[in-house]
């Protein structure tokens, strides 16, 4: 599996090697059975070098560059739209704004997360942080705080369920799965 094909510098190449090696080890042996020490040894680096690139083992699977952009794009939605439409529209815009990830890597990450109780909990925490940021964006635009929290939480739960189902199905593209979730969130499906 290849995380990226673009020409990159030495530090970025090391980061990619760490991620690819870790995902392979997690897929073969299970997330909870693979240590940072084992990943570092397989890559040929020290544990300190690992932690220069990733703050934790969980971050290899749970961190997503897409998450920080969601709240920014939700904040840019017209306040005249219903809350769920604003959330879905912002998430859709954020998706278009980032380079599209390689679907095989995302599918592998989701399968690893689904198979590990540790990562399921970390995924819930990451979703909670994303929902908090989205809700704050809505509140900052004048929406009711409770309604904002409900809309953000519902959207993140719906997206997570859709992506987990996509990960085990081998059907369709990642973008199609996300769009399906957004259509349901908007009430169009």
- Which residues are CB-neighbours of 2 under 8 A, at least 6 positions away? 20, 102, 105
Which tokens belong to 41? Answer: 């040894």
- pLDDT at 124 (0 to 100): 84
Q: For residue range 135-150, list pLDDT tens digits in order.
A: 999 999 999 999 999 9
- Percent of the chain scored above 70 by pLDDT? 95
Measured distance CA(127)–CA(152) in Å, rounded: 10
Overall average pLDDT of the 94-101 stretch: 84
95: nearest Cα among 181, 3, 170, 23: 181
Least confident of 51-55, 76-80, 161-165, 169-173: 169-173
- Residue in this structure with the two tokens 């969130």, named with its chain if needed: 185
Rounded-to-integer distance, Cα 58 and Cα 55, Å: 8
Cβ neighbours of 104 (radius 10 Å): 13
3-state helix, strand, coil split of the chain in percent (to 5) is 75, 0, 25
Residue 150 is predicted with a pLDDT of 97
**Token pair for 151:** 């809309």
In order of 48, 149, 162, 172, the CA distances from 156 in angstroms are 34, 11, 10, 20
Task: Identify the structural domains of the chain with CATH numbers, from first to last.
Answer: 10-56 (1.10.10.60), 60-186 (1.10.357.10)
Least-confidence region, from 26-35, 154-163, 168-177? 168-177
| Threshold 0.75, pTM exceeds | yes
Rounded Cα gap, residues 86 and 74, in angstroms: 6
Query: For the chain, how many residues are written?
Result: 189
């Amino acid at each position: 599996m290849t995380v990226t094909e673009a020409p990159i510098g030495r530090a970025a190449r090391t980061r990619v090697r760490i991620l690819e090696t870790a995902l392979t080890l997690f897929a073969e042996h299970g997330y909870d059975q693979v240590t940072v020490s084992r990943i570092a040894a397989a890559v040929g680096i020290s544990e300190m070098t690992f932690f220069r690139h990733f703050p934790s083992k969980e971050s290899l699977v749970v961190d997503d560059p897409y998450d920080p952009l969601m709240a920014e794009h939700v904040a840019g939605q017209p306040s005249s739209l219903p809350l769920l439409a604003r959330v879905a529209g912002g998430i859709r815009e954020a998706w278009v704004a980032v380079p599209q990830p390689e679907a095989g890597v995302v599918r592998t990450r989701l399968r690893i997360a689904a198979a590990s109780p540790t990562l399921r909990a970390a995924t819930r925490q990451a979703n909670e942080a994303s929902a908090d940021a989205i809700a704050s964006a809505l509140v900052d635009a004048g929406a009711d705080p409770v309604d904002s929290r409900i809309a953000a939480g519902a959207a993140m739960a719906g997206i997570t369920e859709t992506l987990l189902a996509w990960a085990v199905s081998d059907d369709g593209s990642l973008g199609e799965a996300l769009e399906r979730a957004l259509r349901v969130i908007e009430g169009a499906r």
